[in-house]
């Protein structure tokens, strides 16, 4: 009897001693769960390979409309750390993200957040990343959260943050220089959905998007008519497709311009669609925030410089 109990206890002790070892080994590298490709890139810049990164929305998907799958909900509720954009960008996941995650926009000054009209109500414009200074602020917030969560990585993350923020300053300077080659009457950007207002504010552009701020809304004939007039009035040479929205909409707009006697090119194609709400898939041009912005600027300058 005694012998049998001893054996059981010994077995249990043995098992218990293995479990912490096994768990400690498996969690050695923490996993940061993020909603979008932007944040995957940001965390990779800040923490390098010291963390695993789990991205919920694949490249090319539309975060405004993305419906969380059962496995996403499970990942979020069990994650070590969840980072998300906020400003209602992840429109169908707001509740669960507010419960379990930290928004990289949480420290934004209210005055720095763009407000937009949608269906006669004022809504928050989530596309802050096209303001490089706000993107820097979001990066700093993500860095602070990571350093607090993983004190062992503090020095490494702090060092990476300083280097990355300097690269973002260089990017901002480069954008100003490139856009400086356009004249003032070439500063008109027409895209399917209204993702470029922070860009417009930062670099003195006028933007126009028939679809409004969210890809969810329908485009009315009146909105199309207004956009057509805008294109003809300003002699805009080209309108742009986005990688995350249906290109057919811009073709319809082009036809409507032609019907009114105007002429406008639709910039499309795998290599020339603008990135708005997602980075490119890994391994392709535009798969980092910096290369995404460089791609957009190169395409914009190439086509808008043709304006008369
Ligand atoms: Zn959007």
pTM recorded for the entire structure: 0.88
User: Taking 70 as the threshold, does the pLDDT of residue 6 lie above it?
Assistant: no
* C-alpha separations of 252 from 18, 186, 242 in Å: 65, 23, 15
Considering only the C-alpha atoms of the chain, give the largest distance between any 2 of them, rounded to a whole number of Å: 99
> Measured in angstroms, how far is the CA atom of residue 214 from the centroid of ligand 1?
6
Mean pLDDT for the stretch of residues 261-266: 95
Mean pLDDT for the stretch of residues 83-105: 97
Mean pLDDT for the stretch of residues 236-248: 90
Mean residue pLDDT across the chain: 89
> Measured in angstroms, how far is the CA atom of residue 213 from the centroid of ligand 1?
6
> Measured in angstroms, how far is the CA atom of residue 194 from the centroid of ligand 1?
7
pLDDT of residue 217: 63
Kindly tell me the burial class for residue 230, based on how many C-beta atoms sit within 10 Å of its own C-beta (0-12, 13-18, 19 or more).
middle
> Measured in angstroms, how far is the CA atom of residue 131 from the centroid of ligand 1?
14
Q: Which residue has the higher pLDDT, 270 or 191?
A: 191
Q: What are the pLDDT digits (tens) for 27-78?
A: 579 999 999 999 999 999 999 999 999 999 999 999 999 999 999 999 999 9
User: Taking 60 as the threshold, does the pLDDT of residue 10 lie above it?
Assistant: no
Q: What are the pLDDT digits (tens) for 161-183?
A: 999 999 999 999 999 999 999 99
> Measured in angstroms, how far is the CA atom of residue 66 from the centroid of ligand 1?
12
pLDDT of residue 214: 64
User: Taking 70 as the threshold, does the pLDDT of residue 216 lie above it?
Assistant: no
> Measured in angstroms, how far is the CA atom of residue 51 from the centroid of ligand 1?
28
Mean pLDDT for the stretch of residues 78-98: 96
Q: Which residue has the higher pLDDT, 306 or 305?
A: 305
SS3 string, the chain, reads CHHHHHHHHHHHHHHHHHHHHHHHHHCCCCEEEECCHHHHHHHHHHHHHHCEEEECCCCCCCCCCCCCCHHHHHHHHHCCEEEECCCCCCCCCHHHHHHHCEECCCCCCHHHCCEEEECCEEEECCCHHHCHHHHHHHHHHHHHHHHHHCHHHHHHHHHHHHHHHHHHHHHHHHHHHHHCCCCHHHCEEECCCCCCHHHHHHHCCEEECCCCCCCCCCCCHHHHHHHHHHHHHCCCCEEECECCCCCHHHHHHHHHHHHCCCCCEEECCCCCCECCCCCCCCCCCCCCHHHHHHHHHHHHHHHHCCCC
Q: Predicted confidence band at 93 (pLDDT cuts at 50, 70, 90)? A: very high
> Measured in angstroms, how far is the CA atom of residue 14 from the centroid of ligand 1?
54
Q: Predicted confidence band at 18 (pLDDT cuts at 50, 70, 90)? A: very low
Q: Which residue has the higher pLDDT, 2 or 302?
A: 302
Kindly tell me the burial class for residue 154, based on how many C-beta atoms sit within 10 Å of its own C-beta (0-12, 13-18, 19 or more).
middle
> Measured in angstroms, how far is the CA atom of residue 192 from the centroid of ligand 1?
10
């Amino acid at each position: 009897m005694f012998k049998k109990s001893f054996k059981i206890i010994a077995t249990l002790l043995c098992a218990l001693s293995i479990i912490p070892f096994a768990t400690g080994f498996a969690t050695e590298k923490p996993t940061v769960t993020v909603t979008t490709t932007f944040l995957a890139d940001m965390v990779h810049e800040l923490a390098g390979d010291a963390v695993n990164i789990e991205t919920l929305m694949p490249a090319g998907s539309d975060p405004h409309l993305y419906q969380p799958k059962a496995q996403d909900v499970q990942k979020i509720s069990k994650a070590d750390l969840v980072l998300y954009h906020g400003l209602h960008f992840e429109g169908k996941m707001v509740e669960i993200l507010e419960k379990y995650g930290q928004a990289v926009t949480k420290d934004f000054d209210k005055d720095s957040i763009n407000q937009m009209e949608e269906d006669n109500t004022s809504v928050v414009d989530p596309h802050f990343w096209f303001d490089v200074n706000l993107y820097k602020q979001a990066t700093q917030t993500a860095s602070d959260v990571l350093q607090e969560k993983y004190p062992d990585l503090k020095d490494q993350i702090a060092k990476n943050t300083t280097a990355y923020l300097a690269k973002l300053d260089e990017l901002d300077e480069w954008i100003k220089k490139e856009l400086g080659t356009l004249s003032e009457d070439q500063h008109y950007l027409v895209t399917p959905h209204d993702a470029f207002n922070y860009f417009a504010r930062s670099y003195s552009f006028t933007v126009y998007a028939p679809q409004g701020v969210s890809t969810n809304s329908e485009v009315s004939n009146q909105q199309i008519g207004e956009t057509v007039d805008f294109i003809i009035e300003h002699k805009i040479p080209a309108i742009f497709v986005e990688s995350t929205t249906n290109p057919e909409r811009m073709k319809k707009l082009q036809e409507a311009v032609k019907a009114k006697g105007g002429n406008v090119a639709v910039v499309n194609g795998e290599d020339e669609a603008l990135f708005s709400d997602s980075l490119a898939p890994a391994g392709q041009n535009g798969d980092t925030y910096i290369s995404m912005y460089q791609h957009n600027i190169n395409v914009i300058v190439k086509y808008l410089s043709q304006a008369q």
